[in-house]
Structure 1
Amino acid sequence: MSFTHVSFLDQSLGQIATTIAGATAVFHQYKLDFCCGGQHSLREALAAKELDATPILSALQQLQQQEGEITDWRSKPVKELIEHILQRFHQRHRLQLPEVIRLARRVEHVHANDPNCPTGLTQHLEDMYQELESHMVKEEQILFPMLAGGIYPTGPISVMEEEHLQHGDALETLDKLTDNITLPAGACNTWTALYLALQELKEDLMQHILLENQILFVQPKASAQDDDRQMCCGSCQ
């Protein structure tokens, strides 16, 4: 569904929260009740709190348009790919996980007696956040600077690849806890927003791992092999 700024104002908070990934974080920031007050339009909610619509509309528009054209990262310099990973995935994960943890905690608290409640999801997401944060810090402080400098450290790369497998296992557990991120009938806005955000997190993390395993971690090695061949050919002449 495509929204303009005008139609955003005319949509209910609940509809926006359940159709635009990340919208709940914006609403939480401005204390807009998209759950119990989800039937109110954004225009009504902003008027009730006397809030300036401009920054909220801009944030929602950015969320809607954040996916651009697909880039062939194999043709880009290593430093450019690293910067993309830092901005597109590392920064986003650090925004995504606190929000999904907050939503999961709310769902588990309110719907504890519902047989469909994803019991244990909050703790699992907190564990994922801790493990992913440790992983990203090691990349930022150790591996990425080496790759940017043209060094291909097989040891640290092997460690990161092994941790990627662990992240994949964590996503499988997430699927089990949420019935493959499938909403039960009659789910509230918070539950719906949680599963939308989880789907985005899952897709982002999978794309993040793909870029590193299939492109970033092999590109410096390929360049080094090309340099070795050039040196060999030069010495044989």
Structure 2
Amino acid sequence: MTLLDQPVGQLARQLPGATRVFHEYGIDFCCGGRATLRDSLAGRDADLARLVSALEALPAHQPDERDWCEASANELIDHILTRYHAVHRQQLPELIRLARRVEQVHGERQDCPAGLAELLEGMHQEIESHLQKEEMILFPTLKRGLAHNMHGPIAVMRFEHDEHGETLARLMAFTDDIQTPKGACTTWCALYAGLREFREDLMQHIHLENNVLFEQATADQVALGESSPASPMAGELPRA
């Protein structure tokens, strides 16, 4: 099977450094991880050869990047909690503060991202609710080795990840793909730099859950011969 016919989530999981290439080409490897690379590039034939060459040129190992596919579920969950859950809780309040300031001071400019602060506030609430569900129910259960009980909650988390991806798409539309406009003040520049960092972090966060942690849990279900019934705990993970 060629690279073009493999799911992008699988490539992100198996090729160290692939996520950086996908960021460069604007490929959704987290929420859209089940689409093949060819489908992800539909209508962009000019990028096909360059993208495949970039992926094939990746070294077998990235010295500064751990292969989380080789980690235990406990190690990966601890990494997600410290590297992403804690960081998002720092990022979003500051981004909201900066967005409010930019809208207040530069609201008369045509390129001002009017409504961005409100969008980020809604995203903050949705993500906080999502993080709490993982921390209170899903992650502790996976750490106890009870992945076979988590089919329902994992499906809910995947669905909410898709919703986060849709909100990121709206964020990109609000900000002209997070391109800092000419004449932007220091606060505006800091806002867009923070948005770019947050977007990359959230995409990597979702990738590690959808394409690594949840795939491992699904494999555990198959190994145990589970038929993936609706989990009795699924009702404890309502949508945000």
Partner in structure 2 of residue 11 of structure 1: none
Partner in structure 2 of residue 151 of structure 1: 146
Distance 2:159 2:222 in 1: 24
In the alignment, structure 1 segments of 5+ residues that lack a partner are 1-67, 229-237
What per-residue deviation string (whole Å, max 9, x for no partner) do you get for residues 160-199 of structure 1?
0000000000000000110110111111110000000000
- The one-letter code matched in structure 2 to 1:92 is V
Partner in structure 1 of residue 80 of structure 2: 85
Alignment partner of 1:172 is 2:165:
no
Alignment length (residue pairs): 162
Distance 1:90 1:178 in 2: 24
Aligned 8 A contact 1:150 1:220 in 2: no
Q: TM-score of the superposition, structure 1-length normalised?
A: 0.66
The structure number with the bigger radius of gyration is 1
Offset, 1:127: 0.2
Alignment partner of 1:189 is 2:186:
yes
SS in 1 for 2:108: coil
Please give the residue correspondences for 1:88-167 in structure 2 after superposition, counting only pairs within 5 Å. 88-152=83-147, 153-167=150-164
Offset, 1:217: 0.7
SS in 2 for 1:217: helix
Aligned 8 A contact 1:157 1:217 in 2: yes
SS in 2 for 1:116: coil
Distance 1:217 1:146 in 2: 13
Distance 2:171 2:73 in 1: 32
What per-residue deviation string (whole Å, max 9, x for no partner) do you get for residues 83-131 of structure 1?
0000000000000001100100000000010000000000000000000
Identity across matched positions, percent: 53
Q: Please identify runs of 4+ aligned residues in structure 1 that moved more than 2 A.
A: 223-228
In the alignment, structure 2 segments of 5+ residues that lack a partner are 1-62, 226-240
Q: TM-score of the superposition, structure 2-length normalised?
A: 0.65
- Give the root-mean-square deviation of aligned CA atoms: 1.5
Offset, 1:224: 4.2
